[in-house]
Structure 1
Amino acid sequence: MDAHDRLVTSLRAALDARPEDVTLRLHLAQILLDSGDLPGAMSEAAEALRYDPSCDQARDFMVTALERRPSGAETGNAEAEAVAEPRLPRTDAPLEVPPKERFDWTAAESDVAGLVGPRFADEPAGANPDTYETETPGLRLADIGGMEDVKDRLEVAFLAPMRNPELRALYGTSLRGGLLLYGPPGCGKTFLARAVAGELGASFIVVGISDVLDLYFGQSERNLRELFAQARRKAPCVLFLDEVDALGQKRSQSRGSGMRTVVNQLLEEMDGVAADNEGLFILGATNQPWDVDTALRRPGRFDRTVLVLPPDPTARRSILEFHLRNRPVENIDLTSLVARTDGFSGADLGHLCDTAAEQALIASSRSGTVRMIGMADFETALRQVRPSTGPWFDAAKGVAMFANEGGAYDDLLSYLKQQRMM
């Protein structure tokens, strides 16, 4: 292997490690062209254009390479050689300079067809520009058992003004709103938000932190802009932001600038000068409202809050009936189960029914005889499943007692006193 081959081998090895290095690829193409390997040189230049279609240096190289294609004289065609031989003009005749021909890019692109993709791709007809899934819920608040206090708060603070355009016009209020649902995890905040959209007959978009936050700098802000732009196109629309404490955490607690800019973008979209949110209703849900940036709690943003507590007895009965509706049960004392599950979240009640069903399944598997799910299975399940809301109330107690600025947590404080948790 001579020095030229070793150099080409080294360059190809370097390009295997860094295929996107256009400069290095063009250097290899020039070496191949100088050595007479025209196909290899054009292939490398075409690959460089694939990585950087706007590279003028690669395009100029393609022009040079195409101009060096073998002519008829080089292939032994004597007639072509005679035609191609330059003729000197007569000294007594005026010198005629032929016009410079434009380079035929169409012909050049046909020469490299298959090596380089098209510079621009047309968007297919009928393509959907929406990034986030949009629903049209048929769920209504009447479909949710119990939770009458929460329904009343939603009606007074949010739904009644939205349903009455004449009253809004009379009192000069705008068709926009922001409401924050907070409370222990697993108590149906997303379910309630979907029911609110159903009450309004509006589109519904639910978004979590994984749909917005991105690893690359600036992409999270772009995701928020796209989200709000889509919600405005779908108006009237209920936009539900889950885990607002993660998206809009206090900027004073952010270690880097990344999350601060995300909060700034969220503030701008919710109540910025250029934001036109008419017909856009923003609902947020959080387990930790005390971690939400204070700017997000100001008027025009999440200025109203609703505490979503563990289901009351009526709601617990409805949830238990829902989870047992398609299961083989007999002699289930729902009244007893409702009384013994005070403090259970909706998710806890679902887990309780699953655990009771597992007890019956295991017993049937061991005996070889299928049996129904009975109260004995629920007795076992109640010894295993404990309410998950206790740790949340332990953490919320300190906030309600010592950080209840402006009465933001009066509802929580009243509930804690009623339940004798303080």
Structure 2
Amino acid sequence: MSRIRIVGGTITKTTGGDHNIYSEGNIVYNSGTSVSLTSDAGISYGEPKAPPVKIVNEAVKEIELLTTLDLGSKNDRSGTTQLGMIFGKAYHFKVKSYVKSPPAIITDIKWMIKYHSLSQNKWLEIPLSTKGDSVTITMNDEDMCGRFVYVRAFINDPEKEGEYKEWKHNRFRWFDRMLVEDEITERTDHAKPWLVNQSGTSLCGMACIFYLFAKEQPDVYKKFAKELFRTGVATVNSYTVKPSIEVLEKEPFIGGKVNVKFPTHYEKGKRVNMPLIDYITLAGTRNTNNPKYKGGEEEFQAINWPPLMIELSEKLLGYKDVSSKGVYNPVKPLVFTTLDIKNKINDINVKIKLGYKLMLMIDSDLIDDIWDTSSLDLHWVVLESPVIWSYKAGIFGAKQDEIDFKVYSWGTDPNGASRYLTKKITSTHFMNNYNGYIKVK
């Protein structure tokens, strides 16, 4: 609002006490002759002072939440929990008190939400259409997960009136954010993608996919993994992963003990959980494609069939050259010659030399003879070296017949001391347990 006064004569202002002038803009004095400032005590200059706060009688003072909050991780490595809001639940907020008195017209009370968006890296203020002394808000915005949400009720000034601050849990609310981020850092910044571990599940194909993801595209993997953990949905290239509530709500621990319904494995005789970030990515991706897999140790539902592996290689990982050979028919010939063996090994090594990454479909006995020797335990691994065949023919059989190669599997460093293959194998063992590959580049 502006005001202009035109006076033909003199303006005289006499103030018994202090005389203060405040302006949000400039204060300009113009005179046809001179501008005089006089004082009995002297004239001083300094930084501008803020105007006194205007007390508004009709203003919201406090807001209260009437809906029960839910537990989730405290996100501080302590293993403890904290209360907060969860995605998809409706929360009822009500004005608790006013600066002096309620407004004459109750619908003069307005509401808004404020939070800092990680996806946009800025503060967002969202006005609500509801007016009055209470509001019900359904927290169905994924971007608010893992953030503090500020609910405001106001009549005149949203910055200075009633505000209620509450934490909104990450979508995987039982998972400790600090532990999750530690695991992501190990797989990317510390260059240990081989830590990806399927644990006691049949998610070996997913493990191969995310091993290559973390190894070949660590920054993209990092962003994808963090977003999936926080919001419950993440998209890379043309593939969106959005697991169901059964996966999102799985608890790694119950009463401080390992949850037997959570994927586990044994390390040094102790039962431990599947790494949190691997559950989020591996189980989350498999469940997206097959909702019958609920994030436990369901073996058949978790299996990663070749068409899914090809689809993920193209749409999730973004490889342009993807094809398979031999993976669809694990029934192998009973009789084969040294030429058959040589051709199969040469085919693999040529692809490695051409820069392809190979995901091999094998019987798990090929790399670790601990499951069984009589049945098919189909398993995906990533080949990390050429296949070396040391062979010398003899009169009554081979004088030397040893095959060696390196693979990623089961959360183990392919170049480490306890790597797979656990020991060199014969060509017969290789032919009986090797099926084929998917090549990607």
Q: Give me the TM-score of the superposition, normalised by structure 2.
A: 0.23
- Higher relative CO (Cα under 8 Å, sequence separation at least 6) belongs to 1
Q: Give me the TM-score of the superposition, normalised by structure 1.
A: 0.23
Could you say which structure has the larger radius of gyration? 1
